[in-house]
């Protein structure tokens, strides 16, 4: 029964491959099939531009007045943070850090904040902090409200969830576009963008937390005579406090990263703008010095908020006691602040760090990197060249064009081609003979794909391949969604750019998945590796994307290759994480049972552990792709050529229509890949009877 269905699928696949080959052979005749004709492109972007113009003519005043209103709290927060002497702000932040996680974090915070003072970027740091301080409460308020609403009303949840998906998958730059047009230049754009970007995690965590409140707690509260208000505020909410606090942590981090990204539109005079400024001027040393401020700020904010979340269930004494303690803390903080304030008014240095006392390390960093680049000039070039010639170009334009005397040292002759195709076909048929139909199809597709290259593949056949794959994985709904989504990208004329995005991101993802998963599996078996990898992962996940780019730009200049490396470094983290967790959290009975059956370590790994952990590893792949796309967007800054670049250009030129359509196209790609990988993971775990947290 199962076999016959499989055969039928194989036949359909062969049909699709056949169509692809025909389209490729006749691509000169049927140009429309390989390159979507320009005349048929639907001018969505013009329509958007036009209607946006009309809309602003009509309602522009409304948004401008909101913008004016919102600018006041920002100005207020900035004024407050600027007028307080730095010593007072540092004390308060350190004190909060102490309350959250203890002395060690307080000391770290102290040195990190003092670093900001020392290098002369206190003011810019405070501008960034001001935006975060204003946007986070609003995001939490909105997110919590929507979360509660979504929890109580299934209908509301159905509306809210897709909106969250869109907000979280549309490239960050694309957000800024409409906001920029509606609200005008300035810090308010950053504020609104960061609110929009940071409320979704709050919604998700709120719903998750409320859903996870155990039944027995709800029932016991009802039986204690709670009315619905008491049930919610006194029983359910406190029971999911930890999840809510985690939501606040994630929202805060999202807000910070968006505030940094929003610097791109300028006029904010914050730390993100400074970094960008130095990246553009190619002053790498200085950009790293300032970038470190962002990284430190992110780490501090993350550790403080997550500290509150993780320690929330470690309450020790009764609430009466806690209330007193809190009052004491507050009194202590106010008292010390006042004392420091007075001291600072006598010693000017404690209020405003003098310019001539600031230290300048950037020139040393520049020197260091320069010598490094000079010493390893040939090696760097070699790495870049080999990756470009042997991996990137073949994927992009295929062996057909990539192999030339200049790149590979020889010309592609007929016998090369015959050898290439014959060996692929032979191996493929060997798999078919052994009933591995999936691998058979995969090899045939890979053969065609590597020969012609991703950007030369006819859009029509790629559309067929993706949609049929979606059909096999997730059924008609997913297939239809895939077909419509990709079809949209085709008819708005974004297909070529989309392929370039996929090519860059795809190489990175394949690399990350293979290397990252192996690393993760290693880390699961070796606690030393695990202990080394974990803090690196933690840091990479906390640092805003911007900063990750800097060292790569230093070493490899701008371009696709640098973008690729940046994506890899960022997107490899989830692959490592999920693989390690997946392997570590397997049910121990199964492992013990296999050991008792006499399996070797390798058998245990490949026959038991990896198959069982596969659903989790697949989720890691999903996250790797999402991270990859997120970084790809930022990589537009260093001159990549895909959709992300169009979004970026749209932003800088104020061409909302085009940038927005490109942004939507990226979101569509992200969502399709997300659904497909998640479905595979879910099906696997259901088949195994495991549940994934």
Partner 1 sequence: MKNNVELSKQIKLSCRNVWKVYGDNSDSFFSNNSYFREDPSILSKKITEQGQIVANANVSFDVHIGEIFVIMGLSGSGKSTIVRCLSRLIEPTVGEILLDEENLLGKSEKELIEIRRHKMGMVFQNFGLLPHLNVIENIAFPLKLQGLKEKERLQKAERVIELVGLNGRENNFPMELSGGQQQRVGIARSLAVEPDVWFLDEPFSALDPLIRKQMQDEFLRIQSLQKKSVVFITHDFQEALRIADRMAIMRDGQIVQIGKPVDLILNPKDNYIRDFTKDVPWESVLKASDIIDKSQKILQKAKEVPFDMPVAKMLPLLSKKSMGVVVVDQAGKKLGMANAQSFVTALATAEN
Contact residues: partner 1, CB under 8 A: 214, 216-217, 219-227, 230, 234-235, 238-239, 241, 313, 315-319
If one counts every other C-beta atom within 10 angstroms of the C-beta of residue 203, the result is 28
Q: How far is the CB of 224 from partner 1 (least distance, A)?
A: 4
Are the C-beta atoms of 633 and 172 separated by less than 8 Å? yes
d(CA 461, CA 517): 31
| Residue 455, token pair as written in the block | 């950007």
Which CA distances in Å does 338 have to 4, 221, 243, 353? 81, 45, 35, 19
Q: How far is the CB of 686 from partner 1 (least distance, A)?
A: 22
Sign of CA dihedral 581, 583, 587, 592: negative
| Residue 282, token pair as written in the block | 């190619």
Are the C-beta atoms of 299 and 542 separated by less than 8 Å? yes
3-state secondary structure 438-498: HHHHHHHHHHHHHHHCHHHCCHHHHHHHHHHHHHHHHHHHHHHHHHHHHHHHHHCCCHHHH
User: Which CB atom, from 239 or from 455, has the smaller least distance to partner 1?
Assistant: 239
User: Which CB atom, from 38 or from 314, has the smaller least distance to partner 1?
Assistant: 314
User: Which CB atom, from 229 or from 433, has the smaller least distance to partner 1?
Assistant: 229
d(CA 122, CA 136): 21
Q: Checking phi first, is residue 280 left (phi over 0); if not, alpha (psi -120 to 50) or beta? A: alpha
**Which residues, other chains included, contact 314 with Cβ-Cβ below 8 Å and sequence gap of 6+?**
none
Q: Which of 144, 140, 164, 142 is nearest to 207 (CA)?
A: 144
User: Which CB atom, from 239 or from 407, has the smaller least distance to partner 1?
Assistant: 239
User: Which CB atom, from 33 or from 240, has the smaller least distance to partner 1?
Assistant: 240
Q: Which of 196, 197, 222, 203 is nearest to 148 (CA)?
A: 203
Q: How far is the CB of 257 from partner 1 (least distance, A)?
A: 31
User: Which CB atom, from 102 or from 238, has the smaller least distance to partner 1?
Assistant: 238
Which CA distances in Å does 508 have to 449, 555, 571, 675? 17, 18, 8, 20
Are the C-beta atoms of 34 and 27 separated by less than 8 Å? yes
| Residue 46, token pair as written in the block | 């013009």
Q: What is the CA radius of gyration of the chain?
A: 28
User: Which CB atom, from 241 or from 682, has the smaller least distance to partner 1?
Assistant: 241
Are the C-beta atoms of 438 and 9 separated by less than 8 Å? no
Which CA distances in Å does 611 have to 258, 450, 515, 605? 38, 29, 18, 9
d(CA 424, CA 681): 29
Q: Which of 244, 307, 251, 304 is nearest to 136 (CA)?
A: 251
User: Which CB atom, from 227 or from 356, has the smaller least distance to partner 1?
Assistant: 227
Q: How far is the CB of 205 from partner 1 (least distance, A)?
A: 17
User: Which CB atom, from 235 or from 383, has the smaller least distance to partner 1?
Assistant: 235
User: Which CB atom, from 248 or from 500, has the smaller least distance to partner 1?
Assistant: 248
Q: How far is the CB of 246 from partner 1 (least distance, A)?
A: 16
Q: How far is the CB of 215 from partner 1 (least distance, A)?
A: 8
Q: How far is the CB of 317 from partner 1 (least distance, A)?
A: 6
User: Which CB atom, from 7 or from 219, has the smaller least distance to partner 1?
Assistant: 219
Are the C-beta atoms of 395 and 454 separated by less than 8 Å? yes
Q: How far is the CB of 250 from partner 1 (least distance, A)?
A: 22
Q: How far is the CB of 97 from partner 1 (least distance, A)?
A: 23
Longest dimension (CA), the chain: 88
Are the C-beta atoms of 198 and 251 separated by less than 8 Å? yes
| Residue 216, token pair as written in the block | 């027995």
User: Which CB atom, from 122 or from 144, has the smaller least distance to partner 1?
Assistant: 144
User: Which CB atom, from 83 or from 228, has the smaller least distance to partner 1?
Assistant: 228
């Amino acid at each position: 029964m199962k076999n016959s269905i499989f055969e039928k699928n194989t036949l359909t696949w062969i049909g699709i491959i056949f169509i692809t080959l025909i389209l490729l052979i006749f691509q000169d005749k049927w140009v429309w099939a390989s390159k979507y004709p320009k005349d048929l492109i639907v001018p969505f972007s013009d329509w958007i531009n036009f209607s946006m113009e009309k809309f602003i003519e009509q309602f522009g005043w409304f948004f401008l007045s909101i913008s004016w209103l919102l600018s006041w709290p920002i100005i207020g927060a900035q004024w407050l943070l600027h007028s307080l002497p730095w010593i007072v702000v540092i004390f308060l932040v350190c004190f909060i850090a102490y309350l959250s996680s203890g002395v060690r974090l307080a000391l770290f915070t102290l040195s990190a904040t003092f670093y900001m003072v020392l290098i002369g970027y206190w003011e810019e740091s405070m501008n960034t902090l001001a935006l975060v301080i204003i946007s986070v409460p609003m995001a939490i308020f909105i997110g919590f409200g929507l979360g509660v609403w979504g929890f109580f009303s299934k209908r509301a949840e159905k509306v809210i969830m897709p909106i969250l998906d869109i907000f979280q998958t549309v490239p960050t730059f694309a957000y800024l576009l409409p906001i920029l047009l509606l609200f005008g230049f300035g810090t308010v754009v950053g504020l609104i963008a960061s609110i929009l970007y940071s409320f979704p995690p709050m919604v998700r965590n709120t719903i998750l937390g409320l859903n996870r409140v155990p039944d027995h707690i709800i029932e016991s509260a009802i039986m204690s005579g709670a009315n619905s208000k008491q049930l919610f505020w006194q029983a359910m909410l406190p029971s999911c406090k930890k999840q809510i606090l985690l939501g606040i942590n994630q929202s805060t981090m999202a807000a910070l990263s968006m505030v940094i990204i929003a610097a791109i539109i300028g006029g904010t005079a914050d730390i993100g703008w400074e970094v960008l400024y130095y990246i553009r001027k190619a002053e790498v040393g200085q950009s790293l010095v300032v970038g470190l401020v962002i990284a430190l700020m992110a780490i501090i904010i993350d550790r403080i908020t997550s500290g509150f979340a993780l320690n929330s269930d470690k309450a020790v004494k009764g609430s009466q006691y806690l209330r007193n303690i809190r009052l004491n803390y507050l009194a202590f903080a106010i008292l010390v602040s006042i004392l420091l304030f007075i001291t600072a008014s006598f010693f000017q240095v404690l209020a405003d760090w003098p310019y001539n006392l600031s230290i300048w390390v950037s020139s040393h960093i520049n020197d260091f990197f320069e010598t490094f680049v000079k010493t390893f000039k040939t090696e760097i070039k070699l790495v870049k060249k080999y990756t470009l010639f042997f991996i990137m170009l073949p994927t992009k334009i295929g062996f057909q064009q990539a192999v030339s005397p200049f790149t590979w040292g020889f010309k592609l002759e007929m016998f090369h081609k015959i050898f290439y195709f014959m060996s692929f076909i032979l191996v493929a048929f060997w798999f078919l003979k052994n009933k591995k139909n999936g691998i058979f199809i995969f090899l045939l597709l890979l053969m065609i794909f590597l020969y012609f290259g991703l950007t030369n593949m006819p859009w029509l056949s790629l559309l067929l391949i993706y949609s049929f794959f979606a059909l096999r994985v997730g059924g008609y709904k997913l297939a239809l969604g895939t077909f419509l989504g990709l079809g949209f990208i085709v008819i708005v004329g974004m297909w070529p750019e989309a392929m370039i995005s996929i090519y860059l991101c795809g190489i990175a993802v394949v690399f990350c998945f293979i290397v990252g998963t192996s690393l993760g599996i290693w880390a699961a078996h070796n606690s030393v590796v695990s202990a080394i990898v974990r803090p690196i992962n933690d840091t990479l996940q906390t640092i805003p994307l911007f900063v990750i780019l800097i060292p790569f730009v230093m070493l490899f200049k701008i371009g696709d290759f640098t973008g690729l490396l940046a994506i890899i470094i960022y997107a490899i983290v989830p692959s490592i994480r999920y693989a390690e967790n997946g392997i570590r959290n397997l049910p121990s009975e199964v492992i013990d049972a296999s050991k008792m059956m006499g399996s070797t370590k390798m058998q245990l790994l490949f026959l038991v552990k990896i198959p069982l952990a596969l659903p989790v590893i697949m989720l890691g792949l999903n996250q790797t792709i999402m991270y990859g796309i997120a970084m790809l967007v930022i990589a537009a800054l260093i001159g990549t050529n895909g959709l992300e670049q169009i979004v970026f250009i749209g932003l800088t030129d104020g061409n909302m229509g085009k940038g927005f359509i490109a942004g939507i196209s990226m979101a569509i790609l992200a969502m399709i890949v997300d659904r497909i990988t998640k479905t595979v993971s879910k099906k696997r775990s259901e088949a195994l009877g495991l549940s994934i947290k």
